[in-house]
Amino acid sequence: MRIIFFAGKGGTGKTSIAAATGIRAAEMGKKTVIMSLDVAHSLSDIFDLEKNLLDQNKGRPVQINPDLYIQEIDIQEEIKRYWRDIHRYLSRLFNTTGLDEVLAEELAILPGMEEVSLLLYINQYVQKKEYDVILLDCAPTGESLRFISIPATLEWYMKKIFKLERTLARYVGPVAKRFTDVPLPDDDYFKALEELFGRLKGVDQILTNPKITTVRLITNPEKVVIKETQRAFMYFCLYKMSIDAIIMNRIFPQQITESYFKSWIKDQQQHREAAEHIFNPVPILSVDLFQGEILGYPKLKRLAQQLYGRKNPLQRFYKEEPYQLVKENGNYHLKLKLPFLLKKDVELNKYFDELIVRIGGFKRNILLPRQVSSKEQVNAKLDGQVLDICFKGAEDGS
């Protein structure tokens, strides 16, 4: 079983590279599905597929050769399949608050529903061993980053909030009904949430197991794009996902001699060298700028050849894990490898058995193991690329 995410800034080449990797994996005899979370759904265009072939499939996988499938999630269909009760409650809620019905229906599509739907598929495919390889063509960075936080957030929500909310709805509900028209969530809503959570169970372990899941960040040799890649790198680490390669796409090929491109080529060279330092020791795989768009099977195969050469595209190109809990001199240390982090950007709070790590707009609640959560003192230091959080407590004599 192998899962690879292809993530990066808009337009860097994620869909093309996911497709090329899929072709290679299928040629190796691995049953492969390329899934897209991209609302623009460009996978079908890249493979030159008839639009109605996908429409007929309503967001289910479409087989394009014996071992290769593509799947573009259709959120309206997903709502019909999995989200009915949750969606019904939310649209009723918005509707009673004065919105017209169509708008209420639309608003009731929660941010993250597409992503959760995708997680449901991943979990199903892994548990039922339906595919050997799952490749994820992510939406541009801003949105796909929200996605990586979902499994951890859901787990936290279920452990911390869900039970409380349900009890409140049960006892407060009948009283509140007398005072307000706003509907309170009923038991169907909670049952649906609970079932959903059940279906997601285990997906976070799958995504954070580097033997199964890795991320490849697609970038271009441009300053702004590389900066965003660094940020994405750090956030993926925060959510405990392993990055096994950086893919530098759209490099001007050697044979361009026109003087017009000279400074472009020089700039690209500089950015590539900088990237080598920045991402070291994670390997960088390179792809040239092709003549024209990359459409259709033959061109995608050429892309795969450039990218991987004779290498196995499913191997883990880099193996170090970003997360460790170790005991040193009697104290527990949680070590998070967070390259590009500056100390001033990180904020830590410990709240009973939770550690809340905030970096920029991102927050991760880490549920601490028992032996650590009882410690009262928490210190953190930034040791090179590693955020070293030390937990000390009385019983250690410190």
Ligand X SMILES: Nc1ncnc2c1ncn2[C@@H]1O[C@H](COP(=O)(O)OP(=O)(O)OP(=O)(O)O)[C@@H](O)[C@H]1O
Which residues contact Mg ion by CB under 5 A? 14-15, 38
- Kindly tell me which of 294 and 334 has the beta carbon lying closer to ligand X: 294
The residue whose two tokens read 């292809």 is 6
Residue number, 38 or 85, with CB nearest to Mg ion: 38
Question: How far apart, in whole angstroms, are the C-alpha atoms of residue 41 and residue 51?
Answer: 10
Count the helices and strands in the chain (H runs, E runs). Answer: 15, 15
- The span from the CA of 261 to the CA of 266, in Å, is 9
CB under 6 A: which stretch of 9-17, 104-112, 128-136, 335-343 binds ligand X?
9-17
37 or 389: CB nearest Mg ion: 37
Q: How far apart are CA 82 and CA 192, in angstroms?
A: 8
- Two tokens at 347? 């904020």
CB 184 within 8 A of CB 177: yes
| For ligand X, the closer CB: 162 or 264 | 264
Give the residue closest to Mg ion by C-beta.
15
Count how many residues are written for the chain.
Answer: 398
Place of tokens 């649209």: 91
* Residue 269: CB minimum distance to ligand X, A: 17
Which CB sits closer to ligand X, 11 or 360? 11
User: Minimum Å distance from CB 16 to ligand X?
Assistant: 3
Nearer to ligand X, 89 or 147 (CB): 147
SS (H, E, C) 115-126: HHHHHHHHHHHH
* 286 contacts ligand X (rule: CB under 6 A): no
Q: Check residue 212 and report its DSSP letter.
A: T
Give the gyration radius of the chain's Cα atoms.
23
Stretch that binds ligand X, among 146-154, 162-170, 202-210, 283-291 (CB under 6 A): 283-291
Taking the C-alpha atoms of residue 184 and residue 175, their distance in angstroms, rounded to an integer, is: 11
Site size with ligand X, rule: CB under 6 A: 17
Q: Quick one: 139 or 380, whose CB is closer to ligand X?
A: 139
Options 169-177, 189-197, 289-297, 358-366: segment touching ligand X (CB under 6 A): 289-297
Q: Single out the residue of 1, 92, 140, 382 in contact with ligand X (rule: CB under 6 A).
A: 140
Q: Tell me how far apart the alpha carbons of residues 236 and 234 are, in angstroms, rounded to a whole number.
A: 6
H/E element, 271: helix 262-279
Please pick, from the candidates 5, 16, 54, 190, the single residue that binds ligand X as defined by CB under 6 A.
16
Smallest separation (angstroms) from ligand X to the CB of 18: 8
Please, which residue, 15 or 213, has the CB nearer to ligand X? 15
Among 2, 3, 14, 126, binds ligand X (CB under 6 A): 14
Cβ atoms within 10 Å of 331's Cβ, excluding its own: 17
Tell the smallest beta-carbon distance from residue 173 to ligand X (Å).
44
Closest approach of ligand X to the CB of residue 301, in Å: 14
Cis peptide before 174 (omega within 30 of 0): no
Question: Of 12-20, 352-360, 365-373, 389-397, which part binds ligand X (CB under 6 A)?
Answer: 12-20
Return the number of the residue (112 or 140) whose C-beta is nearest Mg ion: 140
Give the range of 4-12, 84-92, 120-128, 271-279 binding ligand X by CB under 6 A: 4-12
Show contacts with ligand X in window 238-277 (CB under 6 A).
249-250
- Going from the C-alpha of 288 to that of each of 13, 14, 295, 308, the distances in angstroms are 11, 14, 15, 13
Asked whether the beta carbons of 279 and 247 are under 8 A apart, the reply is no
> Cα dihedral sign for 204, 205, 209, 211?
negative
Stretch that binds ligand X, among 6-14, 61-69, 196-204, 328-336 (CB under 6 A): 6-14
Among positions 24-53, residues that touch ligand X (CB under 6 A) are 38, 42
- Dihedral angle computed from the Cα positions of residues 250, 254, 260 and 264, in that order, rounded to the nearest 10 degrees: 50
Q: Quick one: what does residue 290 bind among Mg ion, ligand X, none, with the CB cut-off 5 to 8 Å set by partner type? A: ligand X
Amino acid identity, residue 104? A
Residue 196: how many other CB atoms lie within 10 Å: 18
Q: Return the exposure string of 81-90: e unless at least 16 CB atoms fall within 10 Å of the residue's CB, then b.
A: ebbebbbbbb
Pick the closer one to Mg ion by CB: 38 or 228: 38
Stretch that binds ligand X, among 13-21, 95-103, 143-151, 272-280 (CB under 6 A): 13-21
* Site residues for ligand X per CB under 6 A: 10-16, 38, 42, 140, 249-250, 287, 289-290, 293-294
